[in-house]
Structure 1
């Protein structure tokens, strides 16, 4: 625990809103900043202080001072891989340039701890799976590169200033808060499980399967799906580690170490919903590797974190419950 508060950027978004819950439930004081371009103010738990603001705004310095911010969890940014290929400058602005401004503001404000929402996309197409933290990072899309550049900035800043950091490289985040307090609410989201449960309740007519000729057992892409509540818990543990060991920083994979193909995920949705989702086979999307699975031995060895929701059908059930809740409120 720290004196002062924790700032969560992008705390009105999908993963950020779950991290806010995890921090509040653990007893931290939380201030959220979010420009609400993709987030929702109602997704921010009322126990937190919410300031509508972009991370690159000059006013962030005042928020840090006013709320005695000692740590930042940085989730704000753009996350759609195909869009990053089509509009790379948006990603270098929102993910890299904005993060640089935020880090500079944090250093000037005396923030000691920084947790960064990184991604397995920094590995590109790995030579082997599971992929470990020390393996080659060679992104194949601007999204992954924009995140890798921020990792490099954090490493250099931590060497020059009294700040330590943890960069958590997420694999495929899915599911929703089991208590139904928040979930993936973005309109037009590209996450497979989100799309599939939207199809299950009639929001979509079908699910596109992008690529059936990958070098995988069934030809479709294989990903390591991690429940968003487990991921949020990992952030709290990472923060506690940074506080306890201020001289050390960490790069950690956040995944379960097990992969499922697109077709296996859709089979799980069929099981949970007791219906058959319409699947339409399409060509590959730009920037998609065949398989990404975490070697999660480092996070298990470094943190007292142990997954509590590592069940694909359970992830689907929580996502479906949230999607039905959204439908009831007309979202």
Structure 2
């Protein structure tokens, strides 16, 4: 098979492209380079610069590279921005997906892997979030991911496309320093940023109903996430002409914010005490995945630990920020 990876030069996309190429899959990347970095991609993976909104470009890429499957990661992904710019997020995330699916159906492509998010669940009051936990997103970003899942499944049923939707939890780490996340939007780089500026880490709320009062989350190493995509692609490659599967991608273990900051202190050697501030609106006390279906359906389990995530992310941070 030949797989098109949209968003293939991004933080997650490049890890997926490298993992699939290393496993012998033929891969081509499509990226508008708004956040992607071409140097992240291995030399064996051609990069096409452009958008999933460009139907003519998609047709050319599918034909020229004889694409037989699509891994769709390209999306706008910042929760706060989605609250400020909801129409932009719906246009990019849902509109772009619709254009892509139309082109996929027109080209007769029968395998489609969709990058979704645990944001589709919102803030469920459960110990472990299963794929059957009701979805109730609390921001436009999560809404676009849930709408995207509906659209993917509907297109799959209408056009005989086998589909997989991966709902992944909090991603961290890097397979190599040059592949590290360069943004400061998630908790690990946010803490690194504070320490680099000689400021204490921040905790938003320490009065939650959790063992230490801080929010508990499920963290997944980006290299494990890339391997989950590879496992899902293998599943699709062996699937019949139709069918759909939705799978959580997480470790199934909760780590509190205070525990995570302690691990960061151990890795960086900067163990200054965090500053506690007020709660942020919409933060759930606990959001931890059930990873059972991923093991059963994909034969996949996360292998890397939280200290490994933090250590690899710190090496990437130092490379990109000169510390």
Q: Sort the Cα spacing of 1:62 and 1:225 in 2 relative to 1 into closer, same or farther, 3 A.
A: same
Q: Sort the Cα spacing of 1:282 and 1:85 in 2 relative to 1 into closer, same or farther, 3 A.
A: farther
1:184 and 2:198 equivalent? Answer: no
Q: Secondary structure at the match of 1:315?
A: helix
CA distance in 2, matches of 1:313, 1:204: 22
Q: Secondary structure at the match of 1:218?
A: coil
Which of 298, 302, 308 is the aligned partner of 1:314? 308
Which of 277, 288, 294 is the aligned partner of 1:293? 288
CA distance in 2, matches of 1:42, 1:278: 37
Contact 2:109 2:161 in 1 (8 A): yes
Q: Secondary structure at the match of 1:18?
A: helix
Q: Secondary structure at the match of 2:179?
A: coil
> 1:30-62: per-residue Cα shift (whole Å, max 9, x none)?
111111111212222221000110111131111
Structure 2 partner of 1:304: 299
CA distance in 2, matches of 1:280, 1:323: 22
TM-score by length of 2: 0.94
Q: Sort the Cα spacing of 1:291 and 1:268 in 2 relative to 1 into closer, same or farther, 3 A.
A: same
CA distance in 1, matches of 2:279, 2:36: 29
List alignment gaps of at least 5 residues for structure 1: none
TM-score by length of 1: 0.92
CA distance in 2, matches of 1:284, 1:254: 27
Structure 2 partner of 1:24: 21
Q: Secondary structure at the match of 1:219?
A: coil
Give the number of equivalent residue pairs.
321
Q: Secondary structure at the match of 1:195?
A: helix
Q: Secondary structure at the match of 2:150?
A: helix
Which of 252, 256, 265 is the aligned partner of 1:257? 252
Deviates more, 1:106-115 or 1:227-236: 106-115
**Any residues of structure 2 matched to 1:1-331 within 5 Å, and which?**
2=1, 5-58=2-55, 59-177=57-175, 179-186=176-183, 189-200=184-195, 202=196, 205-246=199-240, 247-277=242-272, 279-309=274-304, 311-328=305-322
* RMSD of aligned residue pairs (Cα, Å): 1.7
CA distance in 2, matches of 1:277, 1:63: 51
Contact 2:112 2:161 in 1 (8 A): yes
Contact 1:210 1:285 in 2 (8 A): yes
What is the Cα deviation at residue 104 of structure 1? Answer: 1.2
Q: Secondary structure at the match of 1:115?
A: strand
What is the Cα deviation at residue 292 of structure 1? Answer: 0.8
CA distance in 2, matches of 1:211, 1:87: 26
Deviates more, 1:275-284 or 1:69-78: 275-284
> 1:197-251: per-residue Cα shift (whole Å, max 9, x none)?
3344x25734332233333222222110000000000101101111111233210
Q: Secondary structure at the match of 1:134?
A: coil
Q: Secondary structure at the match of 1:69?
A: coil
Deviates more, 1:133-142 or 1:271-280: 271-280
What is the Cα deviation at residue 181 of structure 1? Answer: 4.7
